[in-house]
Chain A
């Protein structure tokens, strides 16, 4: 099973709202990732968790707060977002700490900030 699931599929929120995106995998992977993809652009890495510890934070604003409760789950908490944060948010996972580190992506959450 090479499935990564994400909820919700779509999210509309106001600039004062607090919401969370969720990602789950059951492949036994130990690395999980958040990417942001604007329209007609490639995905850009935001965060990497390796063995439940944050290992990469690509200078993402603090209004995005990641959380990795366990090796199967990854959350992205959103607070006080701006309209320019509207994008497709993609979660991925991989084995981690391995020479074979193929990443598998979820279907994404389409976020609209009003």
Chain B
């Protein structure tokens, strides 16, 4: 099956710093989503981005489907950005809705 690899696994930032999280996937995908899981377990939708570039405030994402990767940019990080960031993909030709998650990037933002 498809492999989803996220890097780095852990990231510690000082408040105000910028960061880039990466998601590589091994096969073509129908859909790709980025989530932020807060300390209480809630998965918060960040981007639905099977291709192209999107921006939402301090966050932006780019997916290059032909090269099978996606990047999540966080600028001017805040302590509330701490948590785990997941990339999840729906494989092309697979069952609709079958989201496969990467192992996540754990982000800690220090004041």
Q: Which residues of A contact B (CB under 8 A)?
A: 2, 31, 33, 37, 41-45, 48, 50, 55-56, 88, 90, 94, 96-97, 99-105, 107-108, 110
Chain B residues with CB under 8 Å of A48's CB are 95, 97-98
Contact mask B30-56 → A, CB, 8 Å, 1/0?
110101000011110100100000000
A27 CB to nearest chain B CB (Å)? 12
Chain A residues with CB under 8 Å of B68's CB are none
Instruction: Assess whether B97 is in contact with A96, with CB atoms less than 8 Å apart.
Output: yes
Chain A residues with CB under 8 Å of B98's CB are 45, 48, 56
Query: Within the complex, which residue of B31, B41, B104 is in contact with A101, where a contact is CB–CB below 8 Å?
Result: B31
Instruction: Assess whether B96 is in contact with A101, with CB atoms less than 8 Å apart.
Output: yes
Instruction: Give the number of residues in B that approach A within 8 Å (Cβ atoms).
Output: 22
Instruction: Assess whether A103 is in contact with B99, with CB atoms less than 8 Å apart.
Output: yes
Instruction: Assess whether A94 is in contact with B104, with CB atoms less than 8 Å apart.
Output: no
Chain B residues with CB under 8 Å of A104's CB are 45
Instruction: Assess whether B97 is in contact with A42, with CB atoms less than 8 Å apart.
Output: no
Instruction: Assess whether A42 is in contact with B33, with CB atoms less than 8 Å apart.
Output: no
- Kindly report which residue of chain A lies nearest to residue B31, judged by CB atoms: A101
- 10 tightest CB-CB pairs across the interface, nearest first? A42-B101, A105-B43, A102-B48, A108-B41, A107-B42, A48-B97, A88-B41, A56-B95, A31-B97, A43-B101
Known: A42-B102, A42-B103, A42-B104. A101 touches B97 (CB 8 A): yes
List 6 additional A-B contacts (Cβ < 8 Å) besides A42-B88, A107-B42.
A55-B97, A56-B95, A101-B30, A101-B31, A102-B31, A108-B42
